[in-house]
């Protein structure tokens, strides 16, 4: 029964990766990338690697998202 959760998480990761490539709005891409990182942290936890899961959540979803949002706020939001 746990394999259904793993399959749904994998499907969500693939959809997020495709949507990050397809979106033209930079802020939307950052939000999707942040959700990708959070789901990846859940995957690491499911693989019994809590240290990597915490690092992924802190760095991937936390710090990286803040840096991307700060960079976007210094530039124009929409891609040309």
Residue range 11-70, pLDDT digits in tens: 999 999 999 999 988 889 999 999 999 999 999 999 999 999 999 999 988 999 999 999
What letter would DSSP give residue 77?
A: S
pLDDT at 3: 85
Residue 78 has pLDDT above 70, yes or no: no
Angle at 71 between CA 51 and CA 19, to 5 degrees: 70
Q: Which two tokens stand for residue 76?
A: 């124009």
Sign of the torsion angle spanned by Cα atoms 64, 70, 71, 77: positive
3-state DSSP call for residue 78? strand
pLDDT at 75: 83
pLDDT at 77: 57
Q: What is the pTM of this model?
A: 0.85
Distances (CA, A) of 63 to 17, 25, 47, 53: 19, 20, 23, 14
pLDDT at 79: 55
């Amino acid at each position: 029964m746990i394999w259904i959760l793993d399959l749904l998480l994998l499907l969500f990761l693939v959809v997020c990766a495709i949507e990050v490539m397809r979106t033209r709005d930079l802020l939307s891409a950052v939000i999707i990338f942040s959700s990708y990182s959070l789901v990846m942290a859940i995957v690491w936890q499911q693989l019994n690697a809590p240290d990597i899961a915490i690092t992924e959540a802190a760095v991937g979803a936390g710090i990286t998202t803040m840096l991307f949002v700060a960079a976007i706020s210094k530039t124009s939001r929409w891609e040309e």
